[in-house]
């Protein structure tokens, strides 16, 4: 005895509605992967171009202020006013170094907490891989179906026909 499934008109409408409701979900998943990749590349570029050079520059300035204060304190040891000014420079140089070290430490802790260690290391070394922008939505080199992965694998992602 063979089991037969009978599809009536109502069942076909339900299946059609289910398929039509799933199409936007697949499109949103593709858009989400694309948005995530764009956000990651923005953060990487921001870190490489703005954040790390700024921390390095301000740390260097704080170190120079500290060294200048030490020089001023030692070279003009017989002048009380110059020694006081040297102590102020030393103090503010140390404060600047502590602030920059704290900023770098907080950045490192936050990236480790959210699992962004690789992006932070890449940004520090300057070897950032920015995914190419394409109108098809494919972010990986091997996929041609609108999926979205940053690892170079060729998964279909549900966006196209293989």
Q: Is the pLDDT score of 9 beyond 70?
A: no
3-state secondary structure the chain: CCCCCCCCHHHHHHHHHHHHHHHHHHHHHHHHHHHHHHHHHHHHHHHHHHHHHHHHHHHHHHHHHHHHHHHHHHHCCCCHHHHHHHHHHHHHHHHHHHHHHHHHHHHHHHHHHCCCHHHHHHHHHCCCCCCCCCCCCCCCCCCCCCCCCCCCCCCCCCCCCC
In tens, the pLDDT along 22-34 reads: 666 555 666 777 7
Percent of the chain having pLDDT more than 70? 51
Mean pLDDT of 126-141: 54
Give this prediction's pTM.
0.53
Q: Minimum mean pLDDT among 44-58, 113-127, 134-148: which range? A: 134-148
């Amino acid at each position: 005895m063979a089991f037969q499934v009978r599809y009536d008109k109502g069942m076909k409408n339900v299946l059609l509605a289910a398929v039509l409701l799933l199409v936007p979900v697949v499109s949103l998943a593709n858009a989400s992967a694309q948005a995530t990749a764009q956000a990651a590349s923005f953060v990487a570029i921001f870190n490489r171009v703005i954040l790390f050079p700024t921390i390095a520059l301000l740390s260097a300035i704080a170190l120079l202020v500290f060294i200048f204060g030490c020089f001023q304190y030692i070279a003009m040891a017989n002048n009380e006013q110059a020694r006081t000014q040297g102590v102020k420079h030393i103090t503010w140089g140390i404060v600047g170094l502590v602030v920059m070290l704290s900023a770098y430490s907080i950045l490192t802790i936050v990236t480790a907490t959210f699992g962004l260690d690789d992006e932070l290391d890449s940004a520090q070394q300057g070897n950032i891989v920015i995914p190419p922008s394409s109108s098809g939505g494919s972010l990986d080199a091997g996929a041609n179906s609108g999926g979205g992965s940053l690892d170079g694998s060729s998964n279909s992602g549900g966006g196209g026909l293989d």
